[in-house]
Chains A and B, each alone.
Chain A
Amino acid sequence: AQASEQYLPSLVYRTGPFAPSGIGFADGFADYVTLINERDGGINGVRIRLEECETAYANDRGVECYERLKDRGNGATVVAPLSTGITYAVIPRSRRDGIVLSTMGYGRADAAYGRVLDNVFMVPTTYWSSMTATLDYIAEQEGGWENMRGKDIVHAFHDSAYGREPLGVLRHYAEEYGFTLHEMAISPPGVEQRSVWQQIRRIQPDWVSLYGWGVMNPTAIRTAASMGIPRDRIIGGIYAAQDDAVLPAGSAAEGYKAVTFHGPGADYPIYDELQQYVYDAGLAAGDGDLMGTIAYNRGLINAGYIIEAWRQAQAEFGEGRPVTREETLWAWQQLKIDEDRVAELGMDGLMPTVDITCENHEGDGRVMVQQWDGENWNQLTDWLDTNRELVEGMYRDSAMRYAQEEGITPRSCD
């Protein structure tokens, strides 16, 4: 039986400091795979064998997991490392092994430029793209870019590279449109932020961009609330968009906004099927109360992309058998999931479309703004377009520099 199974390693962090975000993702990821196995009997009859490995969000344990799982079953073909640190550690390894890395929003942003790292995919967005869309949204709220001049925008960030990552985009826009950017670093883990928010309060900012992670998010929201900073003027970045950012903050979080690369809630056809084939069958990975949370939805769509890529590989190379690493890589390199396909998957409005080309390993990077009303996330905007010209230039510059450092010859895409 094993030979006809498609092996899927799943690096998860159900423990450790960031477990609250990790659990939802891992559950969604696993439940989607179960759904495919139960409802369809796998991909064209090829069942997927999922194996989890706990990384606790630590780089060394991530590497150990990668090494342990990569040759299990009939061989791993794709891995989602779920952490920027682990991604960096497994990039050289995965290149050597020919395994695809699917990094959703985290990892090397410049991997979005497909000519350098041919096996790493930033589907569906990056911090950079999402920040351009966020600023667009802000400008729109202010009534157009012309009104942005003289505005105060605070970027309150996890004092680490993660939090600093969108600064390039922010500074670029600040210069171009004449708003004042205030960079406020918050030292991780961020259990006490009073003095930062006192400063922010003094600035009386028009908007606050929050790039927190883990416990920093709820604390930031709570502290902001206690200082009277309007929550609907705070927009969380894609990893500050978490249910665990708002739930512990309680009523303080009402009105908090965040950008995400997927739709909110559980109101999609796929959830009915999950209920039917997974939950009611008692096959759910977790307690079942995380359905519709942001982390869970991310797990679902990450698994969705992976399985769609396999499906497309089978279509190309022969259905009804597990695909190889080369075949999987090929499939990712031209992965296309259009609106119709998304709808067929039952994820219309939940999953963004994907269109990978040789050069573009991100897609169009679209995101949407959601708002927490105290109970649920509500969609505020439709998919927002991103500033492709700006970010693609940035990807290219950064990737080419990396290629030079590493002695990689960028492949030709013509």
Chain B
Amino acid sequence: MIYRESGQFKKTYEADQAILPLRTDQIFMVGVLLVAFLVIPMVASNYVMNALLLPFLIYALAAIGLNLLVGYCGQISLGTGGFMAVGAFAAWNLATRTELPMPVIFLLAGLITAGTGVLFGLPALRIKGFYLAVTTLAAQFFLIWLLQRPWFNNYSPTGVISAPTVDMFGWTVDSVTDRYYLALIILVIMALIAKNIVRSSTGRKWMAIRDMDVAAEIIGIRPMATKLKAFAVSSFFIGIAGVLWGFLYLGQLEAEAFNIYVSFDVLFMIIIGGLGSILGSIIGAAFVVLVPIFLNVVPSAIGLPLGTAMISYVEIFIFGVLIIFFLIVEPHGIARLWSIVKQKLRLWPFPY
């Protein structure tokens, strides 16, 4: 019985209500954070930080945001790319047109995205399920179109714009390590916020709407307010992720780059990772960011004589197969798989 919960009695509801009630999990989490904050910056190469960890952290943030909406509130959205773009362009315009300090810009960009999210969430009162999912594509296509209007990129001839350097409370976030730290800190804080929200009454209301909106309404939950709140909070997260994507990771912004496939990628993350799980969002982001790169690198690393194109085709194929495979093994995502493993460990060495 490696993973034990016995012997850990909680004396207060507070302790039971904690984010990680089990000692084992607490130690594990502290370990992960220590590694993330201390070990990785020391050992990871520039490439790993720059091209793998940064996008991973940022996508994880976006995935958490989307999971709040889809996984917790049950409103499927395919507009993530569009909302990321709103965040990014809002921040860029604020940064170039005003003198506001960066942290304020980040916050405002998040709020602007939240507002946009609310606007496009309005139909959700009437429209449900896949119908809603498809209507959110309206947001995706409209927002990208809108942000391509020259005003939003200050009449840049190419439509692509360079992101300014981020300056947080006097800390110039310039080197790779700096950018990694900033993304990590924001992710940790936001993940904590997300966790707080979902374990609170707000989170329960969302889940109630997700599981059965009519019943939720009958026990007194206002569907509109609750759904819109989910759209707002989710978009806030996604907007911030968009800012980080442009400002910290790519260093440039281009509306077209936040296309529908970005939305799908983020949706994969939460489904592969686990709907309705903050941890799942993070695992899912790791999966979707890292697996294709891994698949892309492996053939040449083991000396398979495949051309670039063939590697990509195979990569696409295997990626599709892996998605299916994971869904079949555990439709509720890797996070659920993980908790089943924990349950098994609890019973170990007995099978059931």
Contact = CB atoms under 8 A, between A and B. Distances in A.
**Direct A–B contact in complex, judged by CB atoms less than 8 Å apart:** yes
Interface of A: 12, 14-15, 19, 23, 26, 52-54, 56, 58-60, 63-64, 66-68, 71, 84-85, 87-89, 91-93, 107-110, 159-162, 164-165, 168, 187-188, 285, 398, 402, 405-406
A109 B308 contact: no
Find the residue from B252, B308, B313 having the highest chain A CB count within 10 A: B308
Contact of B312 (A54, A85, A92, A161): A54
A169 to B, nearest CB: 10
Contact of B157 (A52, A91, A398): A398
B200 to A, nearest CB: 34
Nearest to B257: A59
Contacts of B313: 15
A161 B46 contact: no
Contacts of A159: 145, 148
A67 B158 contact: no
A67 B157 contact: no
Given A162-B159, A398-B157, A60 B250 contact: yes
B55 A160 contact: no
A53 B308 CA distance: 7
A56 B312 contact: yes
B148 A160 contact: yes
B160 A88 contact: yes
A197 B256 CA distance: 24
A136 B254 CA distance: 32
B47 A88 contact: no
A164 B51 contact: no
Given A84-B158, A85-B257, A398-B157, A23 B309 contact: yes
Contacts, number: 115
Contact of A161 (B156, B297, B316): B156
A210 to B, nearest CB: 18
B318 interface: no
Contacts of B153: 161
B157 A160 contact: no
A172 B161 CA distance: 23
Nearest to A108: B158
A161 B308 contact: no
Nearest to B48: A67
Nearest to A26: B308
Contacts of A85: 160, 252, 254, 256-257
B75 interface: no
A406 B312 CA distance: 36
Contact of A54 (B249, B257, B296): B296
Contacts of A15: 309, 312-313, 316
19 contacts: A19-B309, A23-B309, A54-B296, A54-B309, A59-B257, A60-B250, A63-B51, A64-B55, A67-B50, A84-B158, A87-B160, A88-B252, A89-B250, A91-B162, A92-B162, A159-B148, A161-B156, A161-B159, A168-B157
Given A59-B257, A159-B148, A398-B157, 9 more contacts: A14-B309, A59-B250, A60-B55, A60-B257, A66-B51, A71-B47, A165-B157, A168-B157, A405-B162
Contacts of A168: 157
B170 interface: no
Contacts of A165: 157-159
B157 A59 contact: no
Name the 6 nearest CB pairs between A and B, nearest first. Answer: A161-B159, A14-B309, A88-B252, A67-B51, A52-B308, A64-B51
Contacts of B316: 15
Contact of A160 (B46, B47, B256, B296): B256
A64 B293 contact: yes
Interface in B246-287: 249-252, 254-257, 261
A159 B146 CA distance: 11
Contacts of A164: 150, 157, 159
B349 to A, nearest CB: 43
A108 B157 CA distance: 8
B307 A285 contact: yes
B157 to A, nearest CB: 5
B291 interface: no
Contacts of B255: 160
B96 interface: yes
Contacts of B161: 88
B132 interface: no
Interface string B288-326: 000001001100000000011101110010000000000
B62 to A, nearest CB: 12
A55 B297 CA distance: 13
Among A68, A93, A161, A398, residue most surrounded by chain B Cβ atoms (within 10 Å): A161
